[in-house]
Each structure stands twice: as structure tokens, then as C-alpha cells.
Amino acid sequence: MEKTLVILKPSCVQRALIGEVISRFEKKGLRLAGMKMIQLTDAVLNEHYAHLKDKPFFQRIKNSMRVCPVIVQCWEGIDAAKVVRSLIGITDGRGAAAGTIRGDFSMSAQENIVHASDSAESAGIELTRFFAKDEIFDYKLSTLAHLCASEEI
């Protein structure tokens, strides 16, 4: 099973949408493998958003991500990164499809509720940035047989 990173951003925390967002992933059939609340540091944000460091909005993103603690999560499932990206919708909440997390709860490209790894490869890097090995748990969902065909598991 594939693992992926999800960060519930300050816009999610401040708007009290934590449970609503988590329930979307659970209802889809993903398994929560790790979760914790952390206050992001400048050093972690510089590393996490290094690909945006030359963009004019880089500092604004970092400021936004430090407004309050965030909830970092590890979700697991078949094609987890792809499934999560589909559930959250496109970056700009104004253009995200209704029914997606961003489409239902965001009016912004920045204050867009959630960050998610864009691929399984990115997830591997990002998960090690936010979780120690002993903070990600392996257990079997009792509902797994009702979520996927046996040959998919």
C-alpha cells in the first residue's frame, strides 16, 4: 500500500474544518497511519517549499503556514497520492470542482485548506520530513476487504 502526506493548513485549523477534511479521506477508504499537530518552523518551510523560493509569493506562503499549528498526516491506500490529490482538487479553490475539499471550502490559491504530496515519490521525501519512523503505524483496517477486491490489496 502506498503512503502519502497531507497537511491540514492554518486555513483548515482556523476554520474548524479538521474533522470534516479527515472524514473525507476516511470515507473514501484511506487508512490513517500517522497524525500530529506541529508548529512549522522557518527552516522546515524553507525546505518544504524550496521549489518556490524564487517566486514573489514565497514569503507570503511561509507567513501563512506559520499563523498557527498545522496537522500533519500520513494516509495509506492503493494509489494514495493520486486518490488524495483527486479528493482535494486543484490548487486554486475558486476553480476547484464542487465536491472536492478545496472546491467546497476554499476561495483562494493560498488559503486552500490542505497540502498533499503530488506523487508517491514526493510523499516518500515529505513523510520523512515530518514523521519519525515510529510515528507511522501499520495496522489492518477491518473494512479493507469491503473496500477493495482481494487482488487489489
Report which of 150, 57, 52, 67 is spatially closest to residue 110, judged by C-alpha positions: 57
Query: Who contacts 88 (Cβ-Cβ below 8 Å, separation ≥6)?
Result: 96, 100, 101, 102, 113, 114, 116
Counting DSSP H helices and E strands in the chain, the numbers are 8, 4
Among candidate residues 48, 51, 115, 146, the one labeled active-site is: 115
115: annotated active-site residue: yes
Residues taking part in catalysis: 115
